[in-house]
Amino acid sequence: MNAENNFAARLIDARRLAEIARTCGLKADVSHYVNEALKELWQTQSPEEARKIAERWVLWDAEGRPWPRIPPLDNVVQFHRAGPTQISMASQPATPLQAIRGWFDRQDEEVRTETAGMATLLVFEGHDLLVFGGRAWCDYLRQWLSETNLSNQTIIGRALTFRSCFEYFAESRFTESGWTRSEKVALGVVEDAKNDPDSDAARLAPFAQKLLDTLPARKIRWINVRKSWRELVSASLTPRALRVWSASRTEIVRGH
Query: Looking at residue 132, what is its pLDDT?
Result: 65
Query: Looking at residue 162, what is its pLDDT?
Result: 95
Q: Which pTM value belongs to this model?
A: 0.59
Q: What is the pLDDT of residues 2-18, one digit of tens each?
A: 778 888 888 887 877 77
Query: Looking at residue 127, what is its pLDDT?
Result: 59
Query: Looking at residue 70, what is its pLDDT?
Result: 60
Query: Looking at residue 166, what is its pLDDT?
Result: 94
Q: What is the pLDDT of residues 152-176, one digit of tens each?
A: 999 999 999 999 999 998 888 888 8
Query: Looking at residue 121, what is its pLDDT?
Result: 84
Query: Looking at residue 101, what is its pLDDT?
Result: 94
3-state secondary structure the chain: CHHHHHHHHHHHHHHHHHHHHHHCCCCCCHHHHHHHHHHHHHHHCCHHHHHHHHHHHEEECCCCCEEECCCCHHHEEEEEEECCEEEEEECCCCCHHHHHHHHHHHCCHHHHHHHHHHHHHHHCCCCCCCCCCHHHHHHHHHHHHHCCCCCHHHHHHHHHHHHHHHHHHHHHHCCHHHHHHHHHHHHHHHHHHHHCCCCHHHHHHHHHHHHHHHHHHHHHHHHHHHHHHHHHHHHHHCHHHHHHHHHHHHHHHHHC
Low-confidence ranges of the chain (pLDDT < 50): 73-91, 253, 255-256
Query: Looking at residue 126, what is its pLDDT?
Result: 58
